[in-house]
Amino acid sequence: MLNYIIKMLKTYIYFCIFLIMISCSNHSEKIKKPLNVVWISCEDMGPILGSYGNQIIKTPNLDKLASEGVRYTNAYSTVGVCAPSRFSIITGMYSARLGANNMRTGDYHNYKTPEEVSHKKNIGVIDKAGFNIPEYEVVPPPHVKPFTEILRKEGYYCANNFKCDYQFNAPFTAWDEVSSTVSFRDAPNGMPFFYVWNTLLTHESRIWERSNKPLTVSPQDVIIPSYFADIPEVRKDIARKYSNIEAMDRKVGELMDQLESDGVLENTIIMFWSDHGGNLLRQKRAVGNSGLNVPLIIRYPDKKNAGKVDDRIVSLMDLGPTVLSLLNIKPPNHYDGKAIAGRYEQEPRKYAFGTADRFDESTDMQRSVLDGRYVYIKNFMPELPLIYRNKYRERIPMNSKLIEMDSKGKLQGDAAYIFMKTKPVEEFYDLKFDPYEVDNLIDNPSYSSKIDQLRSELKRWQKEIDDKGFIPENEIVKSFWPNMIQPVTENVIFSINNQGKFELNSATDGASIGFQIDDKIGTENWDLYHKPIELNKDQKIAARAIRIGYKASEITSN
């Protein structure tokens, strides 16, 4: 009887050990499962969601995301308009450092194949020196590349649906696919993904393009910034803006449902952000808080720090380095962007810096520094009005109406403030008491110490980055394209190393190389070359090189 009990006890112990081993094995598999990253990118929107305190706009899906993630209150774009801002996001570098600070250099909203790219010689744009500016592409230093190439080298499927707008045509090496239909679901089985979903619903153009859609917010309920007159046109367009945000939120909910139903939400980092601040007058294109402050929410797979509010100063340039850091990839040392989370998290910023130069046909030069409470602005062309004429934004009914009212002297108080006919050389605002930035305290002695501090920081920063805003744009273009001729990337040369593998090289410094094998040859999708390639004797390979801002090489094959 005793032997039987001992035998049963041993059996029970072995069984328990087996269950523990299975449990540990399953746990280990969960830990080892690679993380995915999804960016939810919206347009032209400040932090006016429910989770940021706006009780009029109903954004249940983004509010849920914030409750399950970390919400950043002091996140800023580098420029108050999309293309220079997105340049900083994809490169991790200040646009004013690299001469990408003028909006916009060409028609690069969406990806084009090299054969589809063309550049108009006259688009009706004159720089501050009076010279014609054609379409061109920014040419960064050779070491500056889209950070997505790093992810691709590390085995990530990178897909973009579907906006680029980087001040250069997106290199075919930057993404596995860019299209209006691509999804995270297109990632090869078992391959981790970095997926960017862009929505245009909140873009300034949707104020007029969606004017026939039903309003989901009543014009009577909207919050009117004090720098706008309370007139029907203003209320209606703000209601449209709010309704567009609600429509965007519903689309975000659909995407989140897809991630959850596909079983990938549990190992996917979600990052929601806007490319710059609001889409109305004194918001878009502005260098103050209204133009640069954006929402930023990061949700982790395990809902780490759920509901946390982070007041650190963050730049949208930090997004790329943060993705790399969260995936245990060390960001390049040359980045202006800083990782704000993950293995390579860096010291927080003390300040955010903003720039404004040419916007379409209108040229100005402003610089700003913000610390979360105070805003210091330096106007380098104070002889110009704050609200300059811009054909694109005047398609918004309220904008053209306010400009008309100003011309007739019908605006008063704060509503007249933004229509100043010339600008002070310096502006200084205390957001704690003046959230709409209409009370310039630059001559208030009570703030002299803080003003001196921010003034010095702005000077230091401009010197550090060698601010290209001081250079007429035509000179910048000539530095990129000598004699106004776009340089061409050298063709790919094939060689076989001592291990019998193909090595691909281009003589152009800074060129990235894409390649295609067998059935993929002739398609628009290119694999990124980053190590020697082993081929069977019957396989065919084609390759092409591209440096940012250069014309792509010809396609060559072995």
Q: Residue 38 is part of a domain; what is its CATH number? A: 3.40.720.10
Mean pLDDT of 442-459: 98
Residue 285: inside a domain: yes
Residue 403: inside a domain: no
82 catalytic per annotation: yes
Is the pLDDT score of 28 beyond 90? no
- 237 and 254 share one domain: yes
- 25 and 153 share one domain: no
Question: Cβ distance 415 to 227 under 8 Å?
Answer: yes
- 122 and 150 share one domain: yes
Considering the candidates 16, 24, 42, 82, report the single residue annotated as catalytic: 82
- 202 and 175 share one domain: yes
Residue 534, domain CATH: 2.60.40
Backbone angles phi, psi at 294, to 5 degrees: -130, 160
Residue 428: inside a domain: no
- 20 and 54 share one domain: no
Is the pLDDT score of 5 beyond 70? no
- Confidence band of 428 (pLDDT split at 50, 70, 90): very high
User: Domain ends where: 297, 331, 356?
Assistant: 356
Q: Give this prediction's pTM.
A: 0.94
Distance CA 444, CA 412 (A): 23
Other Cβ atoms less than 10 A from the Cβ of 130: the count is 8
User: Domain ends where: 292, 321, 356?
Assistant: 356
- 26 and 139 share one domain: no
107 conformational bin, left if phi > 0, alpha if psi -120 to 50, beta if neither: beta
Residue 372: inside a domain: no
Mean pLDDT of 230-247: 98
Give residue 7's pLDDT: 52
Mean pLDDT of 154-160: 98
Residue 201: inside a domain: yes
- 538 and 502 share one domain: yes
Range of the domain at 157: 33-356
Question: Cβ distance 486 to 508 under 8 Å?
Answer: no
Residues 6+ apart with CB under 8 A from 338: 315, 317, 318, 321, 346, 347, 349
Distance CA 467, CA 353 (A): 12
Distance CA 228, CA 235 (A): 10
Residue 48: inside a domain: yes
Residue 400: inside a domain: no
Give residue 14's pLDDT: 47
Distance CA 411, CA 400 (A): 13
- 16 and 156 share one domain: no
Count of structural domains within the chain: 3
Other Cβ atoms less than 10 A from the Cβ of 236: the count is 17
User: Domain ends where: 323, 356, 389?
Assistant: 356
User: Which has the closest alpha carbon to 374: 262, 284, 277, 289?
Assistant: 289
